[in-house]
Amino acid sequence: KMAEKQEEPSNTQNGEPDNAEEGEEKKKKKLKREDLPPFEIVTGERLPAIFFKFQFRNVEYSSGRNKTFLCYVLETQGKESVTSRGYLEDEHAAAHAEMAFFNTILPKCESSLRYNITWYVSSSPCVTCADRITETLKKNKNLHLTIMVGRLFMWEEPEMQAALKKMKSAGCKLRIMKPQDFEYVWQHFVEQEEGEEAKAFVPWEDIQENFLYYEEKLAEIL
């Protein structure tokens, strides 16, 4: 039996929350209405180019980048192979995108199937998400996860470093996105303007430098 997928608002920006905490959320939102989007996990086929250019930029000081964008390629190998792809982003009050993936995209792993998953994520997971990833991989030996990250999140924190090491020992491949990976995301996950020729990916100035910086940090941690 297929696990029931929760109905998700498609990438509408004004889907109404349908949970009991709605009143609570409204109170919080009044404080900073303009920069708090509605409470929902936004899922969609492709993300707007402006989000990609801002959120995925691999800068060290990522002020204002307090959301996670997760693009996924999920290959399920059984009698036949099925590949699906899409993206998730988290909103401030909702589950993080990493959790949302396991709650909504892959809530149940069939033991007879093999799952190869690649995530392209704007930044590496927080401690809680990293622990959830570790547990999920330990429980499901048929699940193989590669996470390509644009930036490392709070990598100086000992707790964070320990969580990333645990993910690695549970079999998770953690990689820093190279310029070619950003280009891949641009081609496969970013909306192109209607009726226009697909625009080529334009790397930002310090993309290679930042990639090397994070790669060195990740090597030190792991």
Residues recognised as catalytic: 98
Angstrom distance (rounded) from CA 129 to CA 92? 15
CB 31 within 8 A of CB 45: no
CB 186 within 8 A of CB 201: yes
Angstrom distance (rounded) from CA 147 to CA 125? 10
Angstrom distance (rounded) from CA 47 to CA 179? 18
CB 71 within 8 A of CB 47: yes
Q: What stretch of H or E contains 132?
A: helix 127-139
The token duo for 191 is 């909306």
The token duo for 118 is 């690649």
